[in-house]
């Protein structure tokens, strides 16, 4: 089965809402992929996440995990939420314990691990997320960016099969954005965790994702590899969404005549490397 999660023709309107937040949406998350979810404020990204981890039940349509339909029973949902880790956009919604270490240990204790195992995993997470110095700090004394990292650590320590990240880089500075992406890369490489990241950062989506979804007004309007999605410039522009800077630069350079041997760069470093290759090859051809 290629899909870890499937959503078929799902609709949902909030109580008192006029427009549906999800409007007959069909979306499948490919196993082991890093997926980005793009779309304007209010297009339904958070509502989608809350359906995937079973907090909301759709009014219409079906959800499947590993090809099996969701069951809205307490025991099923508890198990589902161990497999689907959700990092909220606003860390205030996520942090519950007094100190940083206690907060990270919360899910592990609930999963029934021994005290020694919990302590070992918490120590490891504190180091991995650069939080060791803050271990005994009361959560309400942290900066927003620090809270965000604690929330991430508390979810990642549970090693979910699907990691849902709602704007994970919001409130993070450059250094901590880089550290977060490195951490996601390690988890993805070592554990094959499937990831779905909602983001407004188109350049980040282009650099990071293997698969991109674009939502608009509760519907899925585009999906595919980053190349496939960002080639649909007219559709994106109609929704007032931009194309990644590097994608634009590469199109403008138009080096397609160059034997097709140059790989489309996803990062500034890759662009530099491809341009150097191009310059060397050109020099050789010119004699």
Chain positions contacting ligand ATP, by CB under 6 A: 14, 17, 21, 39, 41-47, 89
CB of 214 to ligand ATP, least distance (A): 11
Residue closer to ligand ATP by CB (options 100, 209) is 209
Contact between 193 and 161 (Cβ < 8 Å): yes
What's phi and psi for 274, nearest 5 deg? -65, -40
Residue closer to ligand ATP by CB (options 39, 54) is 39
CB of 249 to ligand ATP, least distance (A): 27
Contact between 58 and 22 (Cβ < 8 Å): yes
Residue closer to ligand ATP by CB (options 46, 193) is 46
Residue closer to ligand ATP by CB (options 47, 274) is 47
CB of 11 to ligand ATP, least distance (A): 12
Q: Give residue 236's region: left, alpha or beta (phi > 0; psi -120 to 50).
A: alpha
Q: Can you state the angle between helices 268-286 and 245-253, rounded to 10 degrees?
A: 10
Residue closer to ligand ATP by CB (options 20, 107) is 20
In this structure, are strands 34-38 and 211-216 parallel, antiparallel, or unpaired? parallel
Distance CA 100, CA 193 (A): 24
CB of 192 to ligand ATP, least distance (A): 27
CB of 177 to ligand ATP, least distance (A): 18
> Smallest Cα–Cα separation from 53: which of 78, 34, 28?
78
Residue closer to ligand ATP by CB (options 47, 193) is 47
- Return the DSSP state at 225: -
CA distances from 93 to 23, 87, 280 (A): 26, 10, 53
CA distances from 132 to 128, 184, 206 (A): 9, 19, 32
């Amino acid at each position: 089965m290629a899909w870890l999660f499937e959503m078929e023709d799902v609709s949902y309107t909030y109580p008192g809402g006029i427009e549906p937040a999800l409007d007959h949406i069909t979306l499948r998350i490919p196993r082991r992929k890093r997926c980005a979810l793009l779309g304007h404020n209010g297009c339904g990204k958070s509502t989608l996440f809350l359906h995937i981890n079973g907090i909301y039940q759709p009014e219409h349509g079906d959800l499947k995990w590993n090809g099996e339909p969701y069951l809205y029973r307490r025991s099923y949902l508890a198990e589902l939420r161990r497999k689907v880790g959700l990092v909220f956009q606003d860390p205030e919604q996520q942090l519950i314990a007094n100190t940083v270490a206690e907060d990270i240990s919360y899910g592990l204790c609930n999963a029934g691990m021994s005290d020694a195992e919990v302590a070992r995993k918490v120590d490891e997470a504190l180091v991995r997320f650069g939080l060791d110095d803050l271990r005994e700090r009361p959560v309400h004394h942290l900066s927003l960016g620090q809270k965000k990292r604690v929330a991430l650590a508390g979810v990642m320590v549970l090693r979910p099969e699907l990691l849902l990240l709602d704007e994970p880089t919001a409130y993070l500075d450059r250094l901590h954005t880089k550290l977060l992406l490195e951490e996601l890369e390690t988890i993805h490489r070592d554990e094959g965790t499937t990831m779905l990241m909602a983001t407004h950062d188109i350049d980040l989506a282009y650099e990071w994702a293997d698969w991109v979804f674009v939502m608009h007004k509760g519907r899925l309007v585009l999906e595919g590899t980053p190349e496939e999605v960002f080639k649909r410039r007219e559709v994106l522009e109609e929704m007032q969404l931009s194309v990644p800077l590097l994608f634009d630069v590469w199109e403008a350079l138009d080096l397609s005549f160059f034997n097709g041997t140059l790989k489309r760069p996803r990062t500034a470093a890759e662009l530099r490397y491809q341009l150097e290759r191009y310059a060397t090859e050109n020099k050789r051809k010119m004699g």
